[in-house]
């Protein structure tokens, strides 16, 4: 049975960047499960699964604009170090959680830290990157 909108699908995947760096994989855990057409995964991933049959595999690339969007420089913020609570450890690559003015959760990546300031990036870590996936459709329900 080919996967169509409304089906619950289980998919094993391996995601890599243009240089071959793996950014995620389900191979050492259970396959991901989602409902096709429900917007639970990025559209390019969902589109690739649509029409596949259980046991089928494929490799495809999702351009940045159809994945997590472009990297937006306006989401990179320089803030005085004094605005960061003392108990928060700041180190390049660390992920911090904050709330925006509307109370929504925002995940920030620490890019740079000096004695005076911290540079924090609110972009998704994969923003601006083309993503290549190797997938296998495990099941359709």
Taking residues 83-104, report their average pLDDT: 90
CATH class of 73-121: mainly beta
pLDDT at 81: 92
Measured CA distances, 125 to 68, 71, 90, 104 (Å): 9, 9, 17, 18
- φ and ψ of 28, to 5 deg: -100, 15
Taking the CA atoms of residue 87, residue 92, residue 98 and residue 102 in that order, the dihedral angle to the nearest 10 degrees is 150
Q: What integer pLDDT is reported at residue 101 of this predicted model? A: 86
Q: Which CATH code is given to the segment(s) 8-68+127-140?
A: 3.10.50.40
pLDDT at 77 > cutoff 90:
yes
What pLDDT score was predicted for residue 100?
Answer: 84
> What ranges do the domains of the chain cover?
8-68+127-140, 73-121
Compute the mean pLDDT over every residue in the chain, rounded to the nearest whole number: 95
Residue 48's pLDDT band, with cuts at 50, 70 and 90, is very high
Is 5 in a helix, a strand, or coil?
coil
Q: Are 94 and 110 in contact (CB under 8 A)?
A: yes
Reported as a pLDDT band with limits 50, 70 and 90, residue 12 is very high
How do residues 97-135 score in pLDDT, each as one tens digit? 988 889 999 999 999 999 999 999 999 999 999 999 999
């Amino acid at each position: 049975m080919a996967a169509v909108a409304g089906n619950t699908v289980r998919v094993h995947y391996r995601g890599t960047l243009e240089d071959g760096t793996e950014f995620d994989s389900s191979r050492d855990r259970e396959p991901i499960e989602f409902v096709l057409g429900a917007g639970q995964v990025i559209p390019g991933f969902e589109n690739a699964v649509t029409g596949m049959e259980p046991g089928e595999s494929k490799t495809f690339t999702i351009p940045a604009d159809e994945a997590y969007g472009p990297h937006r420089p306006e989401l990179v913020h320089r803030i005085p170090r004094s605005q960061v609570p003392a108990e928060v450890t700041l180190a390049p690559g660390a992920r911090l959680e904050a709330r925006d003015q509307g109370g929504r959760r925002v995940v920030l990546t620490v890019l740079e830290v000096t004695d005076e300031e911290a540079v924090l990036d609110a972009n998704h870590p994969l923003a601006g990157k083309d993503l290549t996936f190797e997938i296998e459709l495990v099941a359709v329900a």
